[in-house]
Amino acid sequence: MSYTGIHGKVAVVTGAAQGIGEAVARLLAEQGAIVAAVDIREEQLNQLVTDLRSQGHQATACPVDISNHQSVEDAVQRIEETLGPIGILVNAAGVLYTGAVSELRDEEWTRTFDVNTHGVFYMSRAVVRNMAERQSGAIVTVGSNASGVPRMHMSAYVASKAASTMFTKCLALEYASDHIRCNIVSPGSTDTDMQRALWADEQGAQAVIAGSPQAYRLGIPLNRLALPSDIADSVLFLVSDQARHITMHNLCVDGGATLGA
């Protein structure tokens, strides 16, 4: 399906080196966006951009640590000067540390918020200033279905995603009069490196689908994990003109795992 309002626009995607961020970057490029791929993993980022360019798409690698506000400000300025006005921002970067609260280290808690929450704030703040001047723009933050449901041994991740979700809604409210739409896509368990790192063995996917009463975790009614492309499709819709009257919305893409909560 071809969406309108994307072709020719500069689209910044964080976390673009792998997983959901990579899928989003690829899909936006296929739709004709000029993709500024942002990530701290420079080698993987360059591989992505090389691949996209070989397919005739427009993409530029932007190695940035989004937890550093000055690096973000500098990167956004460079993108605006070299690629053009940013019309789309997708906050897809994220980190996950697991463990009981009593065992969670200070640096793990801090790093989680540095990327998952502060990074969303720094990128959105830097981009929305310019969007407001132009009276146009679309921002999507990739959250998590866990942002509204407690998870055992995932306290930092869940808290950080809840914060970035509510921040994005506040951002949407403040800039609605400037015709800037801000929404959230909240994935459930998705087949990414981050998800696979949680699995104990090759039966990990089936265990996630089945759920775990001991961890107070429901399974997935649709009986499958999401693919990164499933999440990317939802992001693509929300940044397109087809979603022109949607803002402050949290689109949960989890196969029914949170029962529509």
How confident is the model at residue 213, as a pLDDT? Answer: 81
In the set 3, 97, 122, 157, the catalytic residue is: 157
> How far apart, in whole angstroms, are the C-alpha atoms of residue 232 and residue 31?
12
When the pLDDT of each residue in the chain is averaged and rounded to a whole number, the result is: 93
Residue 186 lies in a domain: yes
pLDDT in tens, 5-30: 999 999 999 999 999 999 999 999 99
Residue 141 lies in a domain: yes
> How far apart, in whole angstroms, are the C-alpha atoms of residue 257 and residue 208?
10
Residue 3 lies in a domain: no
Number of domains observed in the structure of the chain? 1
pLDDT in tens, 166-216: 999 999 999 999 999 999 999 988 776 666 666 566 666 676 676 678 777
Rounded to 10 degrees, the C-alpha dihedral 149/184/187/231 comes to 170
How confident is the model at residue 133, as a pLDDT? Answer: 98
DSSP 116: I
Domain that holds residue 118: 10-190+227-253
pLDDT at 221 exceeding the cut of 70: yes
How confident is the model at residue 26, as a pLDDT? Answer: 98
How confident is the model at residue 199, as a pLDDT? Answer: 52
Residue 56 lies in a domain: yes
Residue 202 lies in a domain: no
How confident is the model at residue 203, as a pLDDT? Answer: 62
Distances (CA, A) of 180 to 62, 64, 143, 169: 24, 24, 19, 12
How confident is the model at residue 58, as a pLDDT? Answer: 98
Residue 182 lies in a domain: yes
Residue 123 lies in a domain: yes
> How far apart, in whole angstroms, are the C-alpha atoms of residue 40 and residue 254?
27
pLDDT in tens, 68-112: 999 999 999 999 999 999 999 999 999 999 999 999 999 999 999
CATH number, position 106:
3.40.50.720
Residue 222 lies in a domain: no
Residue 45 pLDDT level (bands cut at 50, 70, 90): very high
How confident is the model at residue 117, as a pLDDT? Answer: 98
Higher pLDDT, 132 or 190: 132
Indicate the burial class of 171 (C-beta count within 10 angstroms; 0-12, 13-18, 19 or more): buried
- Known catalytic membership, residue 157: yes
How confident is the model at residue 1, as a pLDDT? Answer: 66
How confident is the model at residue 202, as a pLDDT? Answer: 65
